Amino acid sequence: MSVYMLRPRFGSAPSPSRARHGTEMPPVDLDAADQAQAAAANELETKGAGRVEETAQAAGRLHPLAAKYFDADARLYAMVARMFVVGKPHAGGKWNEEWADTLAKGVGGIIIAKENYGFSPRKLWNLTSALKNHANRSLAIFADQEGGWRGKYRHGQAFREGFTPLPKMGTVGNKLKNDSFLQHQVAKEVSATKFRELRAVNIDLNFDPVMDVNSNPSNPVIGDRAISGNVSRVASLGAAMISAGQAQSVGAVAKHFPGHGDTTTDSHLELPQVHKSLDALWKVELKPFAAAVRANVSGIMTAHILYPKVDPGKPATMSSVFIHDILRTQLGYDGIVFSDSLDMKAVMNNQWSVGDVIVQAVNAGVDMLVTSNKRTDNFEDRAIVALMDAVKARSVPQERIMEANRRIDRLFAGYVRPATERFEFHPDLNKKWFVPPPTE
């Protein structure tokens, strides 16, 4: 199969937005909106953004998705496709036609699931090397590597066999509570080990740490994935983990903004609702994310949760109140905003179509759209087409696509690397994290 390079190039990232606070967006100046749209279109044309190059000329064809827009909209398609991060749990752990097909769509990132890694760091390295080398463009490889054995909450250390065993984050946050210095040292060592081993197998970004506060014992999906039920401890240890992890040249993505710790339902299965006021959220849920922003976290992932007292109509992933007003303006965050997986039932239900979710999420401020792709209905294809068509119909301004791509440029420059030339991996398979310090 032919694989094509779709590599948008843009200028420097804009400074953080400073729109006024509040739950209502500023009124739209139609003339200004038209001018911004025209400027974005001009930048597409004059700067050569999204230049499409054939990298396997003998095969001689574009992926059908790209071909649909090739004549008139190839540049725009390149930027839109780049905003997607997709998983392929059923593609296996070796380079094959399905992986080639995915790369040919021009997606910006690939999530490596536990089903892909072959229970071997070397096999994982082989796969990620093949993906990066066949992409012929800057391709981000993601992991969802938390800590602890995957049990009740279905999350944890996705890559375990052959890796240093990692404790659950709740264990890190609740051990050594009487020695804050030692607790922080252990937290930083856990994170540094986790992220260093990910870099060794060509992983560029990790959807970690969980910055939710474990405040509800009835929560079916967070629990000891969270660092603690203590707000200050989550904020402090989480920020330390971010800094230690990113020092290994792997970007950290804090999740699940604005907080998933006080839900009683699982957003994988249905849309949770949290009936807290914004003032209450500032006291608990939002504090760890403020700490993550101060720690210069490379990305923040949204939660598919409805907070009726803050934005009664939209889950956080689709809410400009949460992403624009709170995260961007009040917290001053100008990094990448990732959606949680868009094939989760919290948003993929009878209330919204794929197009509804995509358009509202991007307009609210989501820069990269994630799908774990456990569905069998061509979800990622439909999602890419939905966003492309929305931009052409001006339901999503071109400037919003440009803004997202400028942030992606900055993220990729900081953390996305070519595949390493040789496999070097040094785990501590017998690591004990909570050994009492030696006595004098």
Using CA atoms, how far apart are residues 416 and 69, in angstroms rounded to an integer? 27
Confidence bin at 373 (pLDDT 50/70/90): low
- What's residue 56's pLDDT? 30
CATH architecture for the domain at 62-86+144-415: Alpha-Beta Barrel (3.20)
Using CA atoms, how far apart are residues 370 and 390, in angstroms rounded to an integer? 18
Note the pLDDT tens digit of each residue in 380-419: 888 999 999 999 999 999 999 999 999 999 999 999 999 9
3-state SS assignment for residue 211: coil
pLDDT at 298 over 80: yes
**Residue 334 bears catalytic tag:** no
Task: Select the more confidently predicted residue: 117 or 298.
Answer: 298
- What's residue 271's pLDDT? 79
* All residues at 6 or more sequence positions from 284 whose CB lies less than 8 Å from its CB, including other chains: 213, 215, 231, 259, 262
- What's residue 154's pLDDT? 53
Six-digit token string for 397? 């301004």
CA 325 to chain centre: 20
87 φ, ψ (degrees, to nearest 5): -105, 155
pLDDT at 22 over 60: no
- What's residue 238's pLDDT? 98
3-state SS assignment for residue 300: strand
Note the pLDDT tens digit of each residue in 196-215: 999 999 999 999 999 999 98
Confidence bin at 192 (pLDDT 50/70/90): very high
Catalytic-role residue among 144, 204, 325, 340: 340
Confidence bin at 50 (pLDDT 50/70/90): very low
- What's residue 149's pLDDT? 63
306 φ, ψ (degrees, to nearest 5): -95, 130
* All residues at 6 or more sequence positions from 240 whose CB lies less than 8 Å from its CB, including other chains: 184, 187, 188, 191, 295
- What's residue 372's pLDDT? 82
- What's residue 70's pLDDT? 58
Confidence bin at 216 (pLDDT 50/70/90): confident
**Residue 304 bears catalytic tag:** no
Average pLDDT for residues 371-383, to the nearest whole number? 77
Catalytic-role residue among 73, 268, 356, 389: 268
Q: How many residues does the chain have?
A: 440
Q: How far apart are the first and last CA of the chain?
A: 65
Note the pLDDT tens digit of each residue in 227-269: 999 999 999 999 999 999 999 999 999 999 998 877 877 666 6
